[in-house]
Amino acid sequence: MSTSTRTTLRTAGVAVRAMLVFTLVLGVGYTLVVTGIAQLALPWQANASPVHDARGETVGSALIGQSFADASGAALPEYFQSRPSAAGDGYDGGASSGSNLGPENPDLVASIGARRVAIAELEGVDVSEVPADAVTASASGLDPHISPAYAQLQVGRVADARGLEEADVRRLVDAHTQQRDLGYLGEPRVSVLELNLALDALGS
C-alpha cells in the first residue's frame, strides 16, 4: 500500500471518528442537556405552552391561535372570533406564513374589503368601526391574540348569543386584556382562546 493511500485512509478514519464524536456530543448530548434544563426551569413553555379547559383537558396552545367557526367556516356567534389566518387552511402550525401579498395587491385589497363588510354585518356596526386586525392576517398566520378594540366590538353579539349581560361580557374582556410587556413593549392584546374558555366557564 502506498504512502498516499495510507495517508488518505488515516485522514478518512480521523474524519469519521470526529464525526461520530461530535454527533454524540452535539447532536445527542447537547440536545438532552438543553431539553432537561428546559423541562426543569420552564416546563410550561418547553411543552408548547398548553391551555387547559375547566376539565383539565388540553384544548390548545397559548402561542397558536385557532378558529371558532362551524364546518362551513361560518363564525360561531357565541364565541369571540380570531383574526384571519393565511397559514394553510387557517392556523396550521405546519404552514406558518402570511399571505406575502403587498398592500396594493388587488386580491389582498378585495379580500380585506370583503372581510370588512362581512364583519360589519356580523357585528351590526358600520364598516368604519371594524379594526385592522379583524380583516388582516398576522405575519405568522398563528397569532392567538386580537386587539381590545376588536374584542369589544364583538361583545354585543356574544352576549346576545349566550343570553348574558353586555356589561358582564365587557368586564370579562377587560379582565383578559394583557397590557404591554414591561409597560412599553408591544400593544395591549386579548387571547381569544383564553377569553372563550372564560366565557364557557361563566355559563357553566
Number of structural domains the chain divides into: 2
93 and 38 belong to one structural domain: no
Average pLDDT over every residue of 122-143: 93
Q: What is the mean pLDDT of residues 165-169?
A: 95
pLDDT of residue 90: 85
**Structure-model confidence comparison of residues 129 and 43, the more confident one:** 129
Q: Are residues 22 and 121 in the same domain?
A: no
Predicted confidence band at 204 (pLDDT cuts at 50, 70, 90)?
low
Q: Which of 42-56, 64-78, 114-128, 182-196 has the lowest mean pLDDT?
A: 42-56
Provide the H-helix boundaries in 124-153: 148-153
Whether residues 160 and 91 fall in one domain: yes
Q: What's the confidence (pLDDT) of residue 3?
A: 76
In this predicted structure, the answer to whether residue 191 has a pLDDT above a threshold of 80 is yes
| Domain identity same for 35 and 132 | no
- Read off the pTM: 0.81
Same domain membership, residue 23 and residue 89: no
Q: Quick one: pLDDT at residue 55?
A: 87
pLDDT at residue 1 greater than cutoff 80: no
Same domain, yes or no, for 37 and 77?
no
Give 72's contacts (C-beta < 8 A, 6+ positions apart). none
Is the pLDDT score of 80 beyond 60? yes
Q: Are residues 67 and 89 in the same domain?
A: yes
Q: Are 135 and 116 in contact (CB under 8 A)?
A: yes
Give me the chain's average pLDDT, please: 91
Domain range spanning residue 14? 3-43
Crossing angle of helices 155-162 and 166-175, rounded to 10°: 120
Q: What is the average pLDDT across 21-27?
A: 92
Q: Is the pLDDT of residue 48 over 70?
A: yes
Within a 10 A sphere around the Cβ of 133, how many other Cβ atoms? 20
d(CA 196, CA 146): 12
Q: How large a percentage of the chain has pLDDT more than 70?
A: 99
Residue for grid cell 396594493: 104
Q: Are 174 and 95 in a shared domain?
A: yes
Best-predicted range by mean pLDDT (4-8, 42-46, 82-86): 82-86
Verify that 121 and 24 share a domain, yes or no.
no
Which residue type does 114 have? A
- pLDDT of 134 strictly over 80: yes
The per-residue pLDDT for 72 is 87
